[in-house]
Every structure is written in C-alpha cells, then in structure tokens.
Amino acid sequence: MRLKISYRKPQVLQALRYHFISRREIKLMLILVNVFALLAAALFFFKLITPLPFLMSSVLWISMMVAFWIWLPWLIYRKSRTFRDTFYVNLDENHLTIETEKTNKIWAWREFSSMIETPGFFHLYFDPRSFFLIPKDVFESTDDIQAARKIMREKIKG
C-alpha cells in the first residue's frame, strides 16, 4: 500500500497532544497537580489556608496545561522538518518504507515497539519518545485503513 503523506499543522498538533497525554508519567503528574489544586481550593473555601497556596496551585495547573497542550506540541512541530515535507510511505507485510526526493528509509515491523491509534493518526513508536505518525486521511478508503490497521496490529508486538 503506497501513501502520499503531507501533514496539516492542526492535525499534527492534536496528535502530539495525544502523545503527551498518553505518557504515564505525564498522566501521573497531571493527576497530582489536579488533586493539589482541588485540595487547595477546598481548603481555601473553608478558610483553612491563605489565598497564596490556592493561587500557586492554580498557576501550576495553568502552566502545566499550557505546556502540554500548547507549548510542547508547537515546539516539536517547529523543530521537526518531517511535518512540513511531503513524502511517500509504503506499507507491506514485512516493512514500512519512507521515500523522499533525497533518500529512502526502510524499517522492519519488529523495529517498532508499539502502536497507538487515535482518531486522526496511527502513532508508530520506536521507543517511548520516538515515533512516526501516519495520518488516516491519506488512505483512499476505510477498507485501506482497515488493511493497514490489520498489518500494524499483527506485526507490531507491544
């Protein structure tokens, strides 16, 4: 299956948000900050603490949301030239191949550690921090998406 890939910035930013929010350590940090913010709000409401801890927890919560929802995806998008290029991807039973004007790169399916499917993308992970995005809108039909999904689920163990 041969796919012509060119990314659209809003879609890529959303995919990067999914990536960050799906990380276990980020989920844990968000939960802890939310619990801290709710606890500070409750204690402030019952006048057991001064406004400063409540204000600090609110600033911390807003800072984390801005970092994970806006700043980090934008920074990754800006630094990665891949998201601004157009190239071809070939999916077959044994490999994933990327073809650009200058070079070709072939990965055996065993080189991917895991796959996550989101509404707009297939996220193919090499390790917890390195991944490749395949947009679903580059497929010609839902049957092609199903075929690609089948290949990736069978070949990527993780």
pLDDT band, very low/low/confident/very high, at 158 (cuts 50, 70, 90): low
Burial of 121 (0-12, 13-18, 19+ CB in 10 A): buried
Best CA proximity match to 139, nearest among 5, 8, 11, 10? 5
Q: Edge-to-edge strands of the sheet including 114-117?
A: 114-117, 121-127, 130-135
Best CA proximity match to 95, nearest among 79, 111, 82? 111
CA 138 to chain centre: 18
pLDDT of amino acid 58: 85
Cα 44 to Cα 104: distance, rounded to the nearest angstrom: 59
Helices 51-66 and 24-45 cross at an angle (nearest 10°) of 150
Give the architecture (CATH level 2) of 82-155.
Roll (2.30)
pLDDT single digits (tens) 82-132: 899 899 999 999 999 999 888 899 999 999 999 999 999 999 999 988 999
pTM of the model: 0.83
pLDDT single digits (tens) 10-44: 999 999 999 998 889 989 988 988 888 888 889 99
- Cβ neighbours, 10 Å, residue 79: 9
**Average pLDDT value for the chain:** 92
What does the domain layout of the chain look like in residue ranges?
9-79, 82-155
